[in-house]
Structure 1
Amino acid sequence: MKTTIFFFSLALITLCNIFTANSAPDAVLDIYGRKASTGIEYFAMAYAIDDYGGSILSAPVANGSCPAGVVHIKPEGFFHRFTITPVNPKKTTIRVSTDVNIKFTGSDICNESNVWKVKYDEAMKQYAVMLGGVEGDPGAETLDNWFKIEKTVNGYKFVYCPSVCSNCKVMCKDVGTTIDANGVERFVLGGDPLIVNFWVF
């Protein structure tokens, strides 16, 4: 009897482990098919069918002055590296549909943090992706700093739909782009998402 119970328990534990492993979201992959990981500096190149799709940068967005926002530009050769950090700091693999912080590397051009955050832009009358966010510390106070990466047919898209606060009311929108009054293609919430692929060198 004890032997039967032992093997039943062992089988149950094995099934639970298999279910847990299979239920984990897919890993985000770079352009070479490698799993995206913490501590790696990436840059994102926008997908385009017939030409260079451009890349993602940080840039001052108020008439060419601070604060800094996240922008998309098309001239070839320009890019800005960033790191991706999952909500669980013990995890090293970046997975789709999970909360992450995104942080540009290098100097801070407007004397603020390089972490992405969502902030309402009065001039555009919509929510834009800016810099100056807080890294880590998931919860109600940091809702604006968490993004998700979702798989698409031709790459990945960024989504704002934080899950770090179970009792908070949040909006869920794709991160798309729009041209502001200064002619800058800004990252904003809503609209057609910008499809990107992740590179590293």
Structure 2
Amino acid sequence: MKLPILTISLLVTFIPLSLLSNTATSSPVYDIDGEPLTPERGYYILPVIRGNGGGVKLYYNGSCPYYVVQANLEVDNGVPVHFYPVNPDEETIPLSTDLNIEFYDIITVCIQYVWQLGDPVGDSGLRYITAGGVLENPAEETVNRWFKIENHPDGDYKLVFCPTVCETCRPVCGDIGVLRQGNTRFLGLSGKPFRVFFVRKED
């Protein structure tokens, strides 16, 4: 019984008490029907601006991990995701709170589906979102797998990378936007946020 107690104590050191208290009072994120997002339900992430691509899905570039991209066709809702807040006791998904995002209801050659921010690429320094992580406890080595849903100034939502699960880490912060390369719409850190809404996947 000593090992689980030690594991819990280490986990607490990486979750600021202020973070846990804030999640208890944060407003929930709502889907397009006005219902709060919940961890047990699946959702499609869709663009607010229509006529310019569809939902969020996976893109295979010849090797694992998959990249997270926006579908080119508006009629393509993409692949559903689950949201897992840093506080597992949350019954809804709070706004502005660290969370994991995981694709589900899909089988691919790459078996990992949790979003993570990749390292800077080449001279461009661009950082793309891949689906190469696994669900793990918040810690320094997992800090690149924690995202947030924030309010967009125009009244809808945006995805943000600015994790606060590790008090000693100094991660880069920024909005998640669409980085177009040819016909592929990669998701990554961008100065222009990807404005989104959420549609519950029917069981």
Match of 1:192 in 2: 192
Match of 2:16 in 1: none
User: Match of 1:127, as an amino acid?
Assistant: R
Larger Rg: 1 or 2?
1
Per-residue CA deviation, residues 95-151 of structure 1 (Å, 9 max, x unaligned), is: 111000000002342323100001125355311100111213001110010000001
> Which sections of structure 2, spanning at least 5 residues, go unmatched?
1-20
Match of 1:100 in 2: 99
For residue 187 of structure 1, report the CA deviation from its aligned partner: 0.3
Match of 1:47 in 2: 48
Match of 2:74 in 1: 76
User: Match of 1:24, as an amino acid?
Assistant: T
Q: How does 1:39-188 map to 2 (within 5 A)?
A: 39-48=40-49, 51=51, 53-60=53-60, 62=61, 66-78=64-76, 79-120=78-119, 122=121, 125-152=125-152, 153-180=154-181, 182-188=182-188
Identity across the alignment (%): 31
> Higher relative contact order at CA 8 Å, sep ≥6: structure 1 or structure 2?
2
Are 1:67 and 1:110, in contact at CA under 8 Å, matched by a contact in 2? no
Secondary structure of 2:40 counterpart = coil
TM-score, length basis structure 2: 0.80
Match of 2:30 in 1: 29
For residue 58 of structure 1, report the CA deviation from its aligned partner: 1.1
> Which sections of structure 1, spanning at least 5 residues, go unmatched?
1-19
Are 1:176 and 1:190, in contact at CA under 8 Å, matched by a contact in 2? yes
User: Match of 1:100, as an amino acid?
Assistant: L
TM-score, length basis structure 1: 0.80
- Structure 1 residues 183 and 21, CA, compared in 2 at 3 Å: closer, same or farther? closer
| Stretches of 4+ aligned residues off by more than 4 angstroms | 20-23
Distance 2:90 2:113 in 1: 22
